[in-house]
Amino acid sequence: MARPVFIVDGSRTPFLKARLGPGPFTPVDLAVQCGRPLLARQPFAPDSFDQVILGCVNVIADEMNPARVAALRLGMGEDMVAFTVQINCGSGMQSIDTAYRYIREGHADMILAGGTEALSHAPLVWPNAGVRWFAGLATAKGVAAKIASAFKLRPRYLKPIIGLERGLTDPVTDLNMGQTAEVAGHLFGITRAQSDAYAAESHRRLAHAQSAGYLKGEVETAFSRDGKFFDHDDGVRPDSTAETLAKLRPVFERPWGQVTAGNSSQITDGASWVILASDAAVAKHKLTPKAAIVDSNWAALDPSIMGLGPVMSVTPLLQRNDLAIKDVETWELNEAFATQVLGCLAAWNDAKFCREILGLDGAAGEIDRDRLNVDGGAISLGHPVGTSGNRIVLHLVNAMKRLGTRRGVATECIGGGLGGAMLIEAV
């Protein structure tokens, strides 16, 4: 029989907006910054875990398999099995899902599952022509051959390619993620005014959560090597309004597009961890679970409309558990783009779409906005790609506890045409 799986604790770093050049923390630095205080407050030793699973998309050359590097730096022991998972925006949730399945099936009792990303450390890449020129220079034999090879250099060979820009472009459709959001918004008639209003509300909600102390115990202060400290998500703009956001130009589809820098998720660095445990581990270490994972589901769709991934992954998840949208009291739907979030909400409320695509009898229903992303989301705090799926599960659990709700869903769209969803219940 499948065993129950509990989320007993978790923490994350502040999400730090990428600015000029690499930020103060690498992916492993970030994982360690929030991992240390999380492990320090547990009633068991760091080496008590069965394994460590960490989501990370932009792994840097100095930190291959960041899960293992982080586990060693966290003092979890040389015999700690640790591996890194990558499914684009779903990587942080994939780490939880993999851990959930290991524990559910009896192969482990306690796993540290996380996500980390330092998008500010995404590399500049040489053009292929430049790489070939350098290879020719390096392999040329003799002084004359090297001089001749050197003279073949062209200025365009040295023009760097922004690795992050290519990483956020789908290699099959050649659409970047912002363009896919435009497509999803166009399918359901989402307007620029709606997107800007949604984005402004995201900032307002995060600012309120910060001032009200709702993130206390979830966000750990991070300390850089030069002595600076970072104690809050620094991309929030409390003064944002639909009117001020309306002044920004479209980024991806000019001049008529809906997606701007103001109603998109921010390029950000951050990490998050959750501790998953079996009932045996809960009893052994006298832990107090915060929530239980009931089920999870992954789905795939056309990469050009990847933003509808939550619709495709959540719907069968709810059906499998005999639930409807109205039965879910708290929702975390990752805010990749305001237009994309609104497109998902419109899809569930569209009878024709639900019949023809989802196989339902009619519209699935409408998500009450007071139940959705109650403390803001990626538009206001950022979207470190490998981390966000972990953060939304962690925050969902904390928000449910604060609000006293019983059932929640965390879901996200995933670059490449995927979607992930997880059903959580309070205990």
CA distances from 183 to 186, 307, 389 (A): 5, 9, 23
Who's near 175: CB < 8 A, 6+ residues apart?
Answer: 169, 183, 303, 304
Which of 187, 161, 198, 162 minimizes the C-alpha distance to 301?
187
Which of 87, 88, 29 minimizes the C-alpha distance to 60?
29
Q: Is 354 annotated as catalytic?
A: no
Side chain identity at residue 34, one-letter code:
C
Containing 242, the helix (H) or strand (E) segment is: helix 242-245
Phi, psi of 144, rounded to the nearest 5 degrees: -60, -45
Strand 268-278 and strand 16-17: the pairing is antiparallel
Q: How far apart are CA 331 and CA 347, in angstroms?
A: 16
Containing 71, the helix (H) or strand (E) segment is: helix 66-73
Q: Is 344 annotated as catalytic?
A: no
Q: How far apart are CA 204 and CA 375, in angstroms?
A: 8
Identify any residues that bridge with 421 across adjacent strands, giving them in sequence order. Answer: 297, 411
Structural contact between residues 180 and 170, judged by C-beta atoms closer than 8 angstroms: yes
Q: Which of 121, 203, 383, 395 is catalytic?
A: 383
Q: Which of 34, 344, 354, 413 is catalytic?
A: 413
Q: How far apart are CA 426 and CA 248, in angstroms?
A: 41
Q: Which of 34, 56, 89, 344 is catalytic?
A: 89
The set of catalytic residues is 89, 383, 413
